[in-house]
Amino acid sequence: MTQSNRRKFIQRAASMAAVGTLPLTYVKLGRSEQSAEFSFAFLSDSHIQHIRGNEFVRNWDRGLIRAVAETNLLNPKPDFVIYGGDLAQLGTKPELDHGAELLSALKYDIYPILGEHDYYLDLGEYWSDIFKRPHYYSFDHKGVHFVMLNSILTYDEWTFERWPTAEQRMNEMAGLDNPNGSPFLVGDAQREWLKKDLAEVDKSTPIVVVSHSPLQKIYKGWNFWTDDAEQMQAILAPFDKVTVLYGHVHQIQYNQIGNISFTSAMATAWPWPYPGSYAQAEHYLPVLTVPMNRADPFFERDATGWQFVDVHTGRVAVHYNLYDNAVRTVAWNEDTGRPEDTVFQDPAARIPPQQHY
Amino acid sequence: MRKKLMLTALAPVLFALGAGNLGGDEFDQEDIDRWQEQFMQVVQEGRALWTDGTLGTNGVACAQCHPNAANTHPETYPKFQKQMGRVVDMWEMFNWCLQHPLEGEELAADDAKMIALIAYARHERRGVELEPGKH
Ligand SMILES: [Fe+2]
Ligand SMILES: [Fe+2]
pTM listed for this prediction: 0.89
Which H or E element spans position B53?
Answer: none
pLDDT at B128: 97
Ligand nearest to the CA of A267: 1
Candidates B50, B51, B55, B64: best to mutate against A (most CBs of A within 10 A) is B64
Query: Strand pairing partners for A332?
Result: A339
For residue A81, how many other CB atoms are within 10 A of its CB? Answer: 23
With a CB cutoff of 8 Å and minimum separation 6, the contacts of A248 are: A44, A45, A84, A85, A86, A115, A116, A152, A212, A213, A214, A223, A224, A264
The answer as to whether B99 is a domain residue is yes
Assess contact for A82 and A40: CB atoms under 8 A.
Answer: yes
For residue B14, being part of any structural domain is answered with: no
Is B8 contained in some domain? Answer: no
**Nearest-angstrom CA–CA distance, A71 and A212:** 20
Which residues of chain A neighbour B64 with C-beta distances below 8 Å? Answer: 176, 270
Q: Given this model, what pLDDT does residue B9 score?
A: 52
Helix axes A58-72, A93-103, angle to 10 degrees: 30
pLDDT by position in tens, chain A (length 357): 334 443 343 344 434 433 344 444 443 443 434 456 899 999 999 999 999 999 999 999 999 999 999 999 998 899 999 999 999 999 999 999 999 999 999 999 999 999 999 999 999 999 999 999 999 999 999 999 999 999 999 999 999 999 999 999 999 999 999 999 999 999 999 999 999 999 999 999 999 999 999 999 999 999 999 999 999 999 999 999 999 999 999 999 999 999 999 999 999 999 999 999 999 988 899 999 999 999 998 999 999 999 999 999 899 999 999 988 899 999 999 999 999 999 999 999 999 999 999
User: What separation in angstroms does the CA of A65 have from each of A100, A144, A322, B2, B7?
Assistant: 11, 29, 14, 79, 76
Buried b / exposed e along A156-189 (16+ C-beta atoms within 10 A): eebbeeebeeeeebbbbbbbbbbeebbbbbbbee
Q: Does A249 touch chain B (CB under 8 A)?
A: no
d(CA A187, CA A199): 18
Question: Residue A58 C-alpha to ligand 2 middle, in angstroms?
Answer: 20
The reported pLDDT for the residue numbered A124 is: 98
Count of CB atoms situated within 10 Å of the CB of B14:
10
List beta partners, residue A144: A141
Number of domains forming the structure of chain B: 1
Q: What is the ipTM of this complex?
A: 0.89
Question: Chain B neighbours among A 255-284 (CB < 8 Å)?
Answer: 270-273, 275, 277-281
For residue A157, report the distance from its CA to the centre of ligand 2, in Å. 20
Closest ligand by atom to A265 CA: 1
Query: Chain B contacts of A57, Cβ < 8 Å?
Result: 58-60
Q: Which residues lie at CB < 5 A from ion ligand 1? A: A 45, 86
Taking the CA of residue B67 and the nearest CA in chain A, the distance in Å comes to: 5
B135 occurs within a structural domain:
no
Residue B117 belongs to domain spanning? 30-124
Within a 10 A sphere around the Cβ of B36, how many other Cβ atoms? 10
Ligand nearest to the CA of A272: 1
Separation between Cα atoms, residue A147 and residue A259, nearest integer Å: 16
Give the closest residue to A67 by CA, choosing from A96, A51, A45: A45
Q: Residue B66 falls within a domain, yes or no? A: yes
* CATH number of the domain residue B112 falls in: 1.10.760.10
The domain made up of A35-345 has a fold known as Purple Acid Phosphatase; chain A, domain 2 (3.60.21)
A297–chain B Cβ distance below 8 A for any pair: yes
- B124 contacts in A (CB within 8 Å)? 278-280
